Amino acid sequence: MGGGLLFVSLALASTGNGADVQGEPKPAEAAPAPATSQDASGGIEQGIFRIKPLRPVAVLREEAMAAQPPTEQGTFRAADLVDLATLDPTIRFDIRYATANNFLSTPLYDEPRAFLQRPAADALSRAHRALMKQGYGLLIHDAYRPWWVTKVFWEATPVQWRKFVADPSQGSRHNRGCAVDLTLYDLKTGAAVQMPGLYDEMSERSYPSYAGGTREQRRLRDVLRASMEREGFSVYETEWWHFDFKDWQQYPILNIPFEALDNPSDVPAATANNSLAGVWAGELASGEAKLPLALSVKQLSGGEYVATMSSVKQGASFTADALSLTADAIRFEIKPIGGVYQGKLDADGAGITGTWRQSGVPEQPLSFKRSSAAPAAKPATQQGPASKPFSVPMNVNVPIAPTAFSAGGKAHLAYELHIANLGQWELQLLSLEVVDAEDASRVFAAFSQADLDRMMRQASEKTMLGPQQAGVVFVWVTFDRLQDAPTRLSNRFKVRLGDYPETIAVQTRPLAVAQNSLVIGAPLSGERWVAANGPSNTSGHRRALIPVDGHAAIAQRFAIDWVQVGDDGKTYRGDPKDNKNYYAFSHDALAVADGVVAAVLDGIPENVPGIDSRAQPITLANVGGNYVQLDVGGGLYAFYAHLQPGSLRVKVGDKVRRGQAIGRVGNTGNSTEPHLHFHISNSSEPLGAEGFPYALRRFEVQGSTKVEGDEIKAQLAVPGKSETRAMAIPADGEIVKFDK
């Protein structure tokens, strides 16, 4: 409880296009052969096998370049990558991934170059010289491949074709500089020879054992294979053009860009523990106060990191957002509280030195020391069912049906899907569609696997649920108008079980949608009130799934932390350690409806503003500070938290009228500065309840805010240009003037 500004949880292609200056082989026509499998996701176009990527390649590239390769244990040889263009002028190149003539139709490399570890390069040169005696030469398509490219391939490729691309969680032998993609060219004509299948084709024709094609095509494929195998290479089981060098296990997975390979000092001579994975201990100092912190980091199968930062003293935690490790530079955000951490990983990987910035708090030093080893590597995936199961062992539960509501000029539905894997194999969530329960062809929202990863709570393999594991998907669906929301909906998943190759569709039972939100009056009066940590699918309130007495609920699903700002966008003037200097302090909290006082708590002392300045240790009983709870009818309750001690003007059993003052805004309980926490729920238990949306009769939107570093950036509307809203809830970050 607390807010977006408050330290709550831490209170917490034809062949060739000029790819090589030495010239290229002339393109050859594809030989007659059985038609390859082709659907809306991919097929052969102009002699190149192409797919429709699952997500835009530009987006995947950005994500992959920010991710990190999997951590490996063991001792490896130092990298010694050789530019293959320096070996022999008669070796030719058609580096497809430096052009759009590849299966993704997008260049991945900035320059057309090919590298191998020196022993592999020497062996390749010997194979080429032997082939020249038979009238052929080697034509190279690819060799060393930075790990981030492997991740792009995996994330872009539909599931049915992933056996043709490497899993980034294991790395590719290309990443180790010990794999090469190639074919033959005819020394007399300079043309690439015809093989039974195309390069990078994802079909049965790509297998080295494929019995189709012409006899000559198969002979040439066998000539290539024999010459490579004599020099210590082995052909990949699904690709006739891919060969791995015998020593590949002795080299580490690399993620070095081509340009860095020209400078030997940029190439690591030995492996080091530069992974972030593990548990880190730190201490944030604020004057004499010390706030012990723990940063728990896990590396996912795709190489990216997820983390949770926790306040050891206060027993609270938050998921780190936008976490990145670029070289040795580390950055992550705690968005709901406006926190940003930037640091640098020590050379030995044992420490992180950096600074913490947070809204309303001066920049402070924050360093971490590694306190435990990185987690063990993920075990190999269990085998899946031998045939398509008649039922998927997946239980989907919706704790509370959604109610349509208006916010930010749109209509929305917000609800959670609690998913349990009841089976013996891993369950991978691949996509989710929210559809009309009466007509499943009407799709209201579609979420990819990457979307689901962001919509799930745990900092782990988010969309992968192991046997007997569970996860929560936070769903948020937006419509133009309230009347566009359905009366019943269903959730349609695509999933994969273990290693079973086909995707399986699972559609849940229909879910009723309520159409009428509780209509209330304003909880405060006046203007320039910011709906901090307000309704959105990423706010700390939205994800606050809290177990109370053995039952987990989200009482704060639609909660708002109301803070007031001045003309400068700040929440205070003068000394930030004095509650009286905050604009919100001492304002009257108002009854939003006629009702009866159901519960009160008084006597909790005021906090000094700051991230670690609680007047009392925080417990479930005092987390809301001094509060008032009103029974507003229909089984719903209005909750007002963090009020000033001694300011309560009501007692249990009192009847109140809408607009009546019930207490004053303060800074008590789990709060870092004066504000009013307000929410509506279905129980008199402040946190052991389910939150419901509501609608204010009328209010004016005066602007919006966003948190940047250690301050709020307020954008107030031009006078006379503010927007009036009716029968809606203020959206996250909106600046509001309440109607009298």
Residue 286 has a pLDDT of: 58
Q: What is the pLDDT of residues 660-690, one digit of tens each?
A: 999 999 999 999 999 999 999 999 888 999 9
Which listed CATH number (2.30.230, 2.60.40, 3.40.50, 2.10.25) goes with 394-512? 2.60.40
The residue among 96, 93, 94, 91 whose CA lies nearest residue 131 is: 91
Q: Give, as one character, the DSSP assignment of residue 537.
A: S
Global confidence as pTM: 0.56
Q: Give the domain ranges of the chain.
A: 42-256, 278-372, 394-512, 518-738
Tell me whether residue 702 is exposed, middle or buried, using C-beta atoms within 10 angstroms of its C-beta: 0 to 12, 13 to 18, 19 or more: buried
**pLDDT band with cut points at 50, 70 and 90 for residue 414:** very high
**Residue 633's pLDDT band (cuts 50, 70, 90):** very high
Q: How confident is the model at residue 73 (pLDDT cuts 50, 70, 90)?
A: low
Q: Give the range among 26-30, 152-156, 282-286 with minimum mean pLDDT.
A: 26-30
Average pLDDT value for residue range 702-706 = 83
In this prediction, residue 719 carries a pLDDT of 59
Does 242 count as an annotated binding residue?
Answer: yes
Q: What are phi and psi of 215, to 5 degrees?
A: -60, -40
Higher pLDDT, 514 or 266: 514
CB neighbours of residue 77 within 10 Å: 16
Catalytic residues: 239
pLDDT at 378 over 80: no
pLDDT(188) > 90: yes
Give the whole-angstrom CA distance, residue 420 versus residue 418: 7
Which residues in 486-527 belong to E strands, given as ranges? Answer: 488-497, 504-507, 511-512, 518-520
Q: What is the pLDDT of residue 472?
A: 93
Of 452-466, 496-510, 668-682, minimum mean pLDDT range: 452-466
CA atoms of 104 and 106, how far apart (whole Å) = 5
Q: Would you state the pLDDT for residue 736?
A: 95
The pairing of beta strand 136-142 with beta strand 92-93: parallel
Q: Which residue has the higher pLDDT, 589 or 449?
A: 589
What distance in Å separates the CA atoms of residue 367 and residue 354, rounded to the nearest whole number?
6
| H helix runs in 185-296, sequence order | 215-229
The CATH number given to 278-372 is 2.40.128.120
Task: Tell me the C-alpha to C-alpha distance, in Å, between residue 222 and each of 90, 150, 629.
Answer: 21, 27, 80
Quote the pLDDT of residue 677: 97
Identify the bridge partners of residue 552 per DSSP, sorted by sequence position: 547
Radius of gyration of the chain (CA): 30
- For residue 119, pLDDT over 80 is answered with yes
| Segment of 3-17, 39-53, 83-97 carrying the highest mean pLDDT | 83-97
Alpha-carbon dihedral 574, 576, 577, 582, rounded to 10 degrees: 80
**pLDDT band (50, 70, 90) for residue 277:** confident
Average pLDDT across the chain, whole number:
84
Cα–Cα distances in Å, from 444 out to 415, 441, 478, 494, 517? 14, 10, 8, 16, 21
- Comparing CA positions, the residue from 389, 455, 459, 386 lying closest to residue 421 is 389
Q: What angle do CA 682, 688, 689 make, to 5 degrees?
A: 20
The CATH number of domain 42-256, selected from 3.50.50.60, 3.40.50.300, 3.30.70.60, 3.30.1380.10: 3.30.1380.10
CA proximity to 606, closest of 586, 629, 628: 586
CATH classification number, 518-738, choose in 1.20.1050.10, 3.60.15.10, 2.70.70.10, 2.40.50.140: 2.70.70.10
Q: How confident is the model at residue 136 (pLDDT cuts 50, 70, 90)?
A: very high
The answer on whether 181 is annotated among ligand-binding residues is yes
- Using CA atoms, how far residue 593 sits from 173, 506, 657, 661, in Å, is 66, 43, 6, 11
* Residue 713 reports pLDDT greater than 90: no
- In the predicted structure, residue 487 carries a pLDDT above the cut 70: yes
Q: Which phi and psi (to 5°) does residue 265 adopt?
A: -70, -20
Query: Would you place residue 8 in the very low, low, confident or very high pLDDT band (cuts 50, 70, 90)?
Result: very low
In Å, what is the CA distance from 29 to each residue of 16, 46, 177, 195, 198? 13, 10, 31, 10, 10
Cα–Cα distance, 317 to 670 (Å, whole number): 13
> 261 with 340: CB under 8 angstroms?
no
Q: For residues 164 and 241, what is the distance between their CA atoms, to the nearest angstrom? A: 12
451 is known to lie in a ligand binding site: no
Min mean pLDDT across 18-22, 80-84, 88-92, 630-634 is at 18-22
The pLDDT confidence band at residue 339, using thresholds 50, 70 and 90, is confident
pLDDT top residue among 594 and 33:
594
